Amino acid sequence: MLRSDFPPSFAFGLATAAYQIEGSVSADGRGDSIWDTFARRPGAIADGQTGEIADDHYRRMSDDVALLAELGVDAYRFSISWPRLQADGTGPVNPRGLDFYRRLAEELLDRGITPWVTLYHWDLPQALEDAGGWLDRDTARRFAEYAGLAADGLGDIVTNWITLNEPWCSAFLGYASGVHAPGRTEGSHAARAAHHLLLAHGLAVPVLREKVPDASVGVTLNLYSVRPDGDQPAAVDAARRIDGLSNRLFLDPVLTGSYPLDVLDDLGEAEWFARNASAADLASIAAPLDFLGVNYYSRHTVAPGVVETEASAYPGSASVEFVTTGAPRTQMGWEVVPEGLIDVLEMASARAPGLPLVVTENGSAFEDVVSSDGVVHDSERLEYLRDHLAACANAIARGLPLTGYFGWSLIDNFEWAWGYSRRFGLVHVDYETQQRTLKDSGSWLKAFLHERDSSVSGD
Ligand code: IFM
């Protein structure tokens, strides 16, 4: 597989997110986000780690842009920390916070790298959480205002905008299982947070279009290939439920303007949605997009099981069991199934034929070892990357309108509840010294992007 096997306009990039890399959490007037608060909660994050320093990217931004240029990417997807632009989630823009993202976008452009901005990668201003967070409809209106400030400040140099990253995680890990910030366990009410997140997306789309000439606007969903473990009706129903909660609850409203009623029934939320998710809301949520961002990591194989006693990320379907099939797994325990990427692209395309699709994240964590030569020989990550890029080529060959691929992630970073114990970077970070070193996977990508034969292992 060569880069030239892809269409010339295909965008190859890498992705990161603000709280995972920036550090400098109180610099230049930044306010607290829900992740700052959550990370201070005893037991919330592995080893009590926080994003206070992370990759110190806020101060090393120019070096990291140089790294992207060395790798030869076309595009870089980063997120804006909402509380850097509005410390409390309301009011005028904080010029010092905005300045950081402006300099970042300008440095990228100077090096011929196209910036892709994500407005919300999970760091809600804490003040808005204190006012109800995503369970409060008003947070959606606040988000649209924030989107307007970001567009006013960057719209002359940034055309690619992603409203939300993975609203499933924000809603169901944040408000149902509570393993992510804000750490609430509200059961099925988490679906209301999902609605308000989607509404936030829908209200922001016209704001971005109005303020950004030639804006290209999308939203990023984390989609899973879901299949039953066998053909027994109970397993098939388990797959319907998990596909419903993970995929259809988001894809359907965004791409077809309606919620899947079976999922609302599973959740016991049909009545709330009938009263609160108005036709006008759904029209907003289904605002025409320029692309759909798809984050793909793994496939779920499911069967009926026993009801979990802990708060579940799948309220109303907590008895579903996630089965391991014997496929290789990453350090996260996620099965490596490159062909599942084609399944999810087909799933999206079936609802919106012709809508350009972009893989906005795809990557893997493995236990990295720094060898005596100072390099991480991460053959498993390299194979994961290569095999998923091959799946992208395959998807295009099948006629799917896939126009870009962003690997997760440029550098090792703060992996949420896992702290720094899970490394997804193509570039290794020594957290003591902040030294960055290309892993073999990074060298492979660099050679691929420069279209040289790679002598790196894993071929
Ligand atoms: O690190 C995360 C990212 O923030 C969102 N998508 C999944 C990645 C790996 O878990």
346 is catalytic: no
Q: Is 70 an annotated catalytic residue? A: no
Closest CA to 458 of 393, 395, 385: 385
Indicate if ligand 1 lies below 6 Å from the C-beta of 295. yes
State if residue 415 touches ligand 1 by the CB under 6 angstroms criterion: yes
- What sign for the dihedral angle of Cα 418, 169, 342, 339? positive
Query: How far, in Å, is the centroid of ligand 1 from the Cα of 279?
Result: 32
**What gap in Å lies between CA 119 and CA 360, rounded to an integer?**
14
User: Parallel, antiparallel, or unpaired for β 225-228 and 299-304?
Assistant: parallel
Q: pLDDT value at position 308?
A: 74
pTM over 0.95: yes
pLDDT for residue 309: 77
Q: What is the pLDDT of residues 144-187, one digit of tens each?
A: 999 999 999 999 999 999 999 999 999 999 999 999 999 999 99
Distance, first Cα to last Cα, the chain:
11
C-alpha 415 to ligand 1 mean position (Å): 7
Task: Return the pLDDT at 307.
Answer: 83
- CA–CA separation, 33 and 53 (whole Å): 15
- CA-nearest of 290, 147, 159 to 220 is 290
Q: Which of 361, 381, 414, 423 to mutate to test the pocket of ligand 1 (most atoms within 8 A of CB)?
A: 361
Enumerate the H helices of 257-338 as residue ranges: 261-267, 270-276, 279-285
pLDDT tens per residue across span 354-378: 999 999 999 999 999 999 999 999 9
Closest residue (by CA) to atom 1 of ligand 1? 415
What are the chain's domains?
Answer: 3-457 (3.20.20.80)
The pLDDT assigned to 459 comes to 43
Spacing, Cα 274 to ligand 1 middle (Å): 32
DSSP codes, 36-59: HHHHTSTTSSGGG--SSSTT-HHH
Stretches where the chain sits below pLDDT 70 are 452-459
- What angle in degrees, to the nearest 10, is found between the helix axes of 190-211 and 249-256? 30
Q: Which two tokens stand for residue 78?
A: 């980063």
Burial of 379 (0-12, 13-18, 19+ CB in 10 A): middle
The Cα 57–Cα 104 span in angstroms is 11
What SS3 class is residue 441? helix
Ligand 1: nearest atom to the Cα of 20: 4
